[in-house]
Amino acid sequence: MKMLVLAGGFGTRLKSVVSAVPKALAPVGSVPFLHLQIQHWIDQGVMSFVFLLHHQADSIISFLKSEKDGLLQNCEVQWLVEPTPLDTGGALAFAVEQLHFSGDFLVTNADTWLGAGLTDMHQVAAPAMAVVKLSDTSRYSRVELNAQNFVTAFHEKNGVKDIGLINAGLYRLNASLFKDWDNLPYSLERVAFPGLLSLECLKAVTLNTDFIDIGIPSDYSRFCRWIEAGRKGVLCS
C-alpha cells in the first residue's frame, strides 16, 4: 500500500533553530530527520512513497534523489509539488487527482515521529485515524471516542494541560473521500474529519508508542537528545 507523506509545510515555529532547510530535513546528529523517518517506515514494511511538497521542495527532492541508490534503493518513490499551498486536505486531493488514485492509502506527517502503528493501520478499514494518549494535550486538538472506538468529537486546543487522546497524524484513507474536491485549499483535520462524525465511520486506532511532533524548538531538541541517547527512555510530546 502506498504511503503519502505530507511534507509541504513552512515550518514557521521551528525557523528560530532550523532556517536553512525545510523542517523535514532538520539535522538530527549526522543525518536529516527525514532519513530517520524513512528508515523507520521501511522497517515497518512500507516500500512505496509519495512525498507531497511545496515549501523548499527542491531541497527535499534533492535529498530523495541522493538516496535513490541508498536508503530508497528498493522502494518506489514519487513526489508532487503543489503549485500553491493547499493545506493537508487539498494536498491529498491534489495527489489523488494527479496520480489517478483509487482505493486505500496511508497518510502521515513528515514531521511527526511515531514509534509504531503502520502494521495496525494495515489491519483496519478506511477511514481510520491513529490516536495516542498524552498527559498534556495543551498543544493539540483532543479526540473523543465511543465504545466502538469511532471518533465522536474533536476539541480544539485550548492551552490547558490535561490528559487525553490526540490525533497522531497517521491515517488510512480512501480516494473516494476526495472525489468532490473544488481545487481550493482545505484542512483534513478541520474540515474533512469533522464532516465524517455524523456518519460515525472514522475509526480510531489507539497506539501505545513513542510520539513527538518536532515542529517547535523544544520538542525538536528533545528528539535530538533521544536519538543521541540511543533511543532510550520514553519519547512523548
Q: For the segment 187-204, what is each residue's pLDDT rounded down to a tens digit?
A: 999 999 999 998 999 999
> Quick check: is 236 in a domain?
no
Q: Is residue 234 part of a domain?
A: no
* HEC per residue, the chain: CCEEEECCCCCHHHCCCCCCCCHHHCEECCEEHHHHHHHHHHHCCCCEEEEEECCCHHHHHHHHHHCCCCCCCCCEEEEEECCCCCHHHHHHHHHHHHHCCCCEEEEEECCEEECCCHHHHHCCCCCEEEEEEECCCCCCCEEEECCCCEEEEEECCCCCCCCEEEEEEEEEEEHHHHCCCCCCCCCHHHHHHHHHHHHCCCEEEEECCCEEECCCHHHHHHHHHHHHCCCCCCCEC
Does residue 214 belong to any structural domain of this protein?
yes
Q: What mean pLDDT comes out for the span 21-46? A: 94
Q: What is the CATH number of the domain that holds 104?
A: 3.90.550.10
Q: 0.75 cut: is pTM over it?
A: yes
**233 within a domain of the structure (yes/no):** no
**Total domain count, the chain:** 1
Does residue 237 fall inside a structural domain?
no
